[in-house]
Structure 1
Amino acid sequence: MMNCAIRNPDLAPQGRMKIDWVRAHMPVLGAIRAEFERSRPLAGVKVAVSVHLEAKTAYLAEVLKAGGAIVTVTGCNPLSTQDDVAAALVEAGIAVFAWHDPTPDEYRTHLIQTLENGPGIVIDDGGDLVHLLHTDLAHLAPGVIGGCEETTTGVIRLRALAREGRLAFPMFAINDAHTKYLFDNRYGTGESVWSGIMRTTNLLVAGKTVVVFGYGWCGRGIAMRARGLGAKVIVCEVDPVRAIEAHMDGYRVMHSLEAARLGNVFISATGCRDVIHAGHFQVMPDQALLANAGHFNVEISGPDLERLAVSRRTVRPNIEEFQLADGRRLYLLARGRLVNLAAGDGHPAEIMDMSFALQALTALYVVRHAGELEKKLYPVPPEIDRRVAELKLGALGVKLDRLTPEQEEYLAGWGPA
């Protein structure tokens, strides 16, 4: 067996079934794979991938390998790695350093092992690989020709590096592409968060009051799906424009300390820390559910919850009960980590088909433009965004109208109608 660190290689057949299932529902990535197999445009390029290690990520890794890349994969969250999928990837000849629920030291070691391959391209989700390449493994940064960042949290970290003039290689903000945030963040997060909550709790959503912290694209999706399931939805925001948008979308908007008294389910989706804290816990109703949809487990203040609790126990898989001094019970889902991945399978395959197609095509763009790119954060080139949309529409059997030459001339002109 190749150099790797996985929990149990005997799980590979089970993981292969998962990968084959999503592959059948990811036609955009499948079309790119067919192109990659013919032209091998990534031949010899070392790629380090740190994305939630489940079946859809595994298929992305296999597509990159089909293009000739030498791929090394790890997770980007301790609870989202699926051991059977990791085993299947190793069996397919892809190096993996990850297992479910590692200790903090093990998690860090897996990241380091992934980068020790000396990647030319990094595909990150949350920014952990990039952080190491700017700190303890900075000596490997000169070998990186560029990379991609999948999610909002990671892009925030990249913007901070770029602002300080410290970004050591070019990076592309996959999260900011239209075919990512309009669909992955909104429809993917909306569906997968509620799937994770419902399968974990086995409780009804209809009739409950749901409080959504943050009305970015992820928050929009969570609120939209909650309303569709019959919940009453309250939105809490710090941005006045987003707050007005939530109001006009038909949700109640209020200060979070007011909302804390009313909610039955609280979901954070902000990318910030200590969003739900002691002040909220002290007034929440008995049996309130606490779930996080942000990348890191800092949005719901675990230290505050532990300090206020007089007892703590696991009542169901992925549900911890914290009993407060007055007898109220608060239920924390998935240890405050991403509920849709730590307690579920993540976004639907059809959604990640577009997001991972962006990753694959942007990685190819980096290779083709190696040496031309500056050390800064770039948007995804619009032609890639458009191509992914066109491939998706083609897979759906949808045909578009086309402008006539006269219409194009009219739209490009400035004269009278």
Structure 2
Amino acid sequence: MKQNEIRDMNLAPSGRQKIEWVRNNMPLLRGLEEQFKRERPFDGVRISLSVHLEAKTAYLCEVLAAGGADMSVTGSNVLSTQDDVAAALAATGMHVYAYHAATQEEYDRHIEMALVHGEDASGKELGPNIVIDDGSDLINMLHNKRTDLLSDVWGGCEETTTGVIRLKAMEADGALKVPMVAVNDAKCKHMFDNRYGTGQSVWDSIMRNTNLIVAGKEVVVAGYGWCSKGIAMRAKALGARVIVTEVDPVAAVEAVMDGFEVMTMEQAAPRGDIFVSATGCNQVITVDHMLLMKDRAILANAGHFNVEIDMIELERRAVEKKETRKNIMGYKLENGKWINVIAEGRLVNIAAADGHPAEIMDMSFAVQCLSAMYILENHEKLENKVIDVSEEIDLLIARRKLDAWGIAIDRLTPVQEKYLHSWNL
């Protein structure tokens, strides 16, 4: 088996402290950990995981390992891996291939390494049985470079909106060779993780990295999906005047009725002090838009890939470039104005902060665990399609979350059940 490829094992104690902190604040995963220890459902099962490698993800890995899984782990962004957390996981005996600020070549190597779980008696490399992905990087590698490992894969789970978009495109083209559960689309994921988690963590990152006030500023939010709704809502709560840009007329109407101004990015560019993109698309904020912006405008991206802000064209056309603050790069444009970009235009809440709160990821990662169980129990009859998370899983997680909070809710009486399922009233 390959050796771990991490930064420094001496960092493990710091990482262990972080993992224990989130563990104490993730009651759903703690419950699953105890269940998995008793039942060992993943004994002999090989799981490859690529998710932002910080403390909450590390605890997810430990929960799956408690169920018997052979875990092979990497990150899902070149800037989001926390080296001390990677070291703490490696110290448990887990296979870990990730470090902070990897080059793209190193990142791609780590993705490939995480897909290999040793060799069989004949020397053939063993692939994963289950893939847990964030942005579909593992799946992309399996379908393009490591097709030899596909026969080992029963299926997988995708964490992000961007990843589900890629998977659905693969399915439409007939290219998807394994069943994939759209974890992102579960109610207990996108309604809470994407909205409340992104909303809080994006502004946590922007505020800690800029040390500037949000109140009184004009904030431009690109997109009005679940993530963007959370970003806009939290910006408004912080006292900002919020502008939304959209391409979907229905979402645009919703943004207006939620109390936000809606306009094109070209119209918004001269007005914004802070711009945040969260669309899942590319070239959302272009250099032509930047030329219209105020001097020292701040740009951040909350989409999975660093393509929403056109960084390639910005690097090409900037006449000067310098670090203006840790995690912030300033670019001087041809008109003399400076544009400040946080975290290289990468996912701002995790590339330059700690990501979503532990209580939010408790729900999302509980969906991941139960979806992995679904793959384990049903893979022999699943088609190579993108599969919705069952309502049963969503309801189970929601009930457990309420129990953890000590909250009781009403239940339908038999009379009410009959009424709701009757047509001849």
Matches within 5 A, 1:167-316: 167-316=176-325
1: CA distance, partners of 2:272 / 2:155? 44
The answer on whether the counterparts of 1:186 and 1:221 sit within 8 Å (CA) in structure 2 is: yes
Quick one: which amino acid aligns to residue 128 of structure 2?
A: P
2: CA distance, partners of 1:261 / 1:31? 50
2:203 pairs with 1:163: no
Question: How many Å apart are 1:381 and its aligned residue?
Answer: 1.3
- Tell me which moved more, 317-326 or 337-346: 317-326
Question: How many Å apart are 1:225 and its aligned residue?
Answer: 0.2
2:159 pairs with 1:143: no
1: CA distance, partners of 2:256 / 2:169? 31
Quick one: which amino acid aligns to residue 11 of structure 2?
A: L
Question: How many Å apart are 1:327 and its aligned residue?
Answer: 2.3
SS of 1:271's equivalent in the other structure is coil
Matches within 5 A, 1:39-58: 39-58=39-58
2: CA distance, partners of 1:236 / 1:59? 37
Aligned to 2:36: 36
Deviation sequence 1:174-206 (CA, Å, 0-9, x none): 010000010000000000000000000000000
1: CA distance, partners of 2:290 / 2:362? 38
1: CA distance, partners of 2:367 / 2:4? 27
2:343 pairs with 1:339: no
1: CA distance, partners of 2:318 / 2:405? 51
2:140 pairs with 1:131: yes
2: CA distance, partners of 1:140 / 1:161? 18
Quick one: which amino acid aligns to residue 20 of structure 1?
A: E
Question: How many Å apart are 1:307 and its aligned residue?
Answer: 3.0
Alignment TM-score, normalising by the size of structure 2? 0.97
2: CA distance, partners of 1:14 / 1:326? 46
Aligned to 2:124: none
The answer on whether the counterparts of 1:142 and 1:168 sit within 8 Å (CA) in structure 2 is: no
Aligned to 1:362: 371
Quick one: which amino acid aligns to residue 217 of structure 2?
A: K
1: CA distance, partners of 2:375 / 2:318? 50
2: CA distance, partners of 1:283 / 1:377? 41
1: CA distance, partners of 2:3 / 2:319? 46
Question: How many Å apart are 1:304 and its aligned residue?
Answer: 2.2
Identity %: 57
Deviation sequence 1:25-59 (CA, Å, 0-9, x none): 00011111110010001111000000000000000
Question: How many Å apart are 1:325 and its aligned residue?
Answer: 2.8
SS of 2:319's equivalent in the other structure is strand
1: CA distance, partners of 2:88 / 2:287? 43
Show structure 2 runs of 5+ residues with no match.
118-126
2: CA distance, partners of 1:393 / 1:320? 43
Matches within 5 A, 1:107-126: 107-117=107-117, 118-126=127-135
Aligned to 2:123: none
1: CA distance, partners of 2:281 / 2:94? 34
2: CA distance, partners of 1:49 / 1:227? 36
1: CA distance, partners of 2:71 / 2:333? 48
- Tell me which moved more, 39-48 or 362-371: 362-371
Of the candidates 158, 163, 182, which is equivalent to residue 154 of structure 1?
163
The answer on whether the counterparts of 2:274 and 2:297 sit within 8 Å (CA) in structure 1 is: yes
The answer on whether the counterparts of 2:183 and 2:367 sit within 8 Å (CA) in structure 1 is: yes
Question: How many Å apart are 1:2 and its aligned residue?
Answer: 7.3
2: CA distance, partners of 1:387 / 1:3? 39
Question: How many Å apart are 1:376 and its aligned residue?
Answer: 0.8
Of the candidates 396, 400, 403, which is equivalent to residue 394 of structure 1?
403
Quick one: which amino acid aligns to residue 100 of structure 1?
A: H
Alignment TM-score, normalising by the size of structure 1? 0.99
Post-superposition, which runs of at least 4 consecutive aligned residues in structure 1 deviate over 6 A? none
The answer on whether the counterparts of 1:269 and 1:293 sit within 8 Å (CA) in structure 2 is: yes
2: CA distance, partners of 1:275 / 1:240? 17
Show structure 1 runs of 5+ residues with no match.
none
The answer on whether the counterparts of 2:291 and 2:337 sit within 8 Å (CA) in structure 1 is: no
SS of 1:89's equivalent in the other structure is helix
2: CA distance, partners of 1:179 / 1:261? 38
Quick one: which amino acid aligns to residue 256 of structure 1?
A: M
2:362 pairs with 1:350: no
2:93 pairs with 1:93: yes
SS of 1:134's equivalent in the other structure is helix
Deviation sequence 1:239-261 (CA, Å, 0-9, x none): 00000000000000001100001
2:86 pairs with 1:73: no
Aligned to 2:6: 6
Question: How many Å apart are 1:328 and its aligned residue?
Answer: 1.2
Matches within 5 A, 1:368-379: 368-379=377-388
Quick one: which amino acid aligns to residue 102 of structure 1?
A: A
- Tell me which moved more, 301-310 or 282-291: 301-310
The answer on whether the counterparts of 2:26 and 2:358 sit within 8 Å (CA) in structure 1 is: yes
Aligned to 1:325: 334
2: CA distance, partners of 1:108 / 1:157? 18
2: CA distance, partners of 1:267 / 1:50? 25
